[in-house]
Amino acid sequence: MEAKTLTKADLQQLQDYNKKIYPDKVIPAKDYLEFWFNRNERALDQCLILREEDGSVHGQVLASEMSYYYKQERTDTVWLFDLIVDEDLRKTGWGVDVLLACMDKHPRSCSTGSGPTALPIHLKMGNKMLGEIRKYVGIVNPLSMFISLFRTNIKAEKFPSSVTVNGKTFRELSREEMPALTKPYNDNLLEIARNREFLQWRYFNDLHPYAFYKDEQSDDFFVVRTTIQKHMTVMLLVDYRCDMSDAKAFENIYQAAKKVMSKLHIGMLIAGSSLKVVDVVLESHGCKSIGRPRPVIGFVKVKDRKADVEARTFLLTTFADSDGETNWV
């Protein structure tokens, strides 16, 4: 048994493994894995598997390229997810071996979602707490709640071409119109970067229908799609970027998303937040934080910003940066 870099020859075994370990996942393993691996020619090389001599897979850690801005510098690294080994191997140290191999391969990686048992292990191995993502749920358009029952997901072409709030017009853009985005929106935060390659891959694919809206007067943007939760069609605020120095810019994004929902007759919104300023806006409109906040960790030196991490004034990340949102149908 060895922890090795994923290759094309391993893909069928990896698909079989994912079918076994995630039997309840609605999205077929083939479609889910192809979404990540079709990003670019380097995608397979970012990932590790635990493979037996006969070729069978018994563990994995998947990774996707990402960058972040911190202290005026951009760092290129990966976002880790789906770290798992067979249950009967978890007490033998193979899980730690896979993690150590991954640390050697990606010494500046970040990840989210570690459970209460795994988180202390990650922190002991050198990861630092960077913040948490909270999941917010709110009834935005009460009159549309009944209409939202037993509907299907809404196709991208049905979304309004533009919405205007507070004198700002957010226009839906095509894949070819994605902005370059070569600098951070916030110099004082650890901000997970966006660029044209990421946006074109992430929001223009066959996995889900997304709608990307950009302010005509700036690079502020947000991304939404629908999902089905308990037989109800709800809106996901998947991603957003703006100046977070006060609440005004994100308030505009919230209001624009609300207007999109009104035009589509959708009542409920789900949004993710890693910043206090976003918490404040969402809570001011009646949204509630539910479930366990998802810790975000990484190999980043943050000793001088520990108070900001705890105060939720340090990290800008969204649902779009990891795998969780992609599994919602």
Q: 143 and 88, same structural domain?
A: no
**What pLDDT is recorded for position 307?**
97
CA dihedral 101, 106, 109, 112 (to 10 degrees): -40
Q: Which residue range is the domain that position 150 belongs to?
A: 134-327
Single out the residue in 69, 92, 108 at which a domain terminates: 108
pLDDT at 96 over 90: no
For residue 127, is it within any domain? no
For residue 206, is it within any domain? yes
d(CA 316, CA 319): 11
For residue 116, is it within any domain? no
Q: 168 and 91, same structural domain?
A: no
pLDDT (mean) for 77-97: 90
**What pLDDT is recorded for position 262?**
97
Least confident of 65-74, 112-121, 162-171, 308-317: 112-121
pLDDT at 76 over 90: yes
pLDDT at 8 over 90: yes
Q: 310 and 214, same structural domain?
A: yes
Single out the residue in 91, 108, 125 at which a domain terminates: 108
pLDDT (mean) for 82-110: 91
Residue 117 — pLDDT band, cuts 50, 70, 90?
A: confident
pLDDT (mean) for 44-54: 96
- pLDDT tens sequence across 10-20: 999 999 999 99
Q: 94 and 229, same structural domain?
A: no
Residue 166 — pLDDT band, cuts 50, 70, 90?
A: very high
For residue 310, is it within any domain? yes
- pLDDT tens sequence across 291-326: 999 999 999 999 899 999 999 999 999 999 989 999
d(CA 150, CA 254): 25
pLDDT at 242 over 90: yes
Quote the strand ranges of 124-183, DSSP E.
128-139, 162-165, 168-172
For residue 120, is it within any domain? no
Average pLDDT of the chain, as a whole number:
96
Q: 287 and 172, same structural domain?
A: yes
Residue 118 — pLDDT band, cuts 50, 70, 90?
A: confident
Q: 138 and 104, same structural domain?
A: no
Cα Dmax for the chain: 63
pLDDT (mean) for 172-189: 98
d(CA 129, CA 306): 9
**What pLDDT is recorded for position 155?**
93
Record the tokens describing residue 57, joined without a space.
């897979």
Single out the residue in 108, 125, 154 at which a domain terminates: 108
- Count of structural domains, the chain: 2
Q: 175 and 314, same structural domain?
A: yes
Q: 89 and 47, same structural domain?
A: yes
Q: 41 and 89, same structural domain?
A: yes
Q: 175 and 71, same structural domain?
A: no
Domain harbouring 95, CATH code: 3.40.630.30
Q: 240 and 93, same structural domain?
A: no
Domain harbouring 319, CATH code: 3.40.630
For residue 97, is it within any domain? yes
d(CA 192, CA 72): 13
d(CA 67, CA 62): 16
Quick check: 327 and 33 in contact, CB under 8 A? no
Q: 205 and 68, same structural domain?
A: no
pLDDT (mean) for 207-223: 98
pTM for this prediction? 0.96
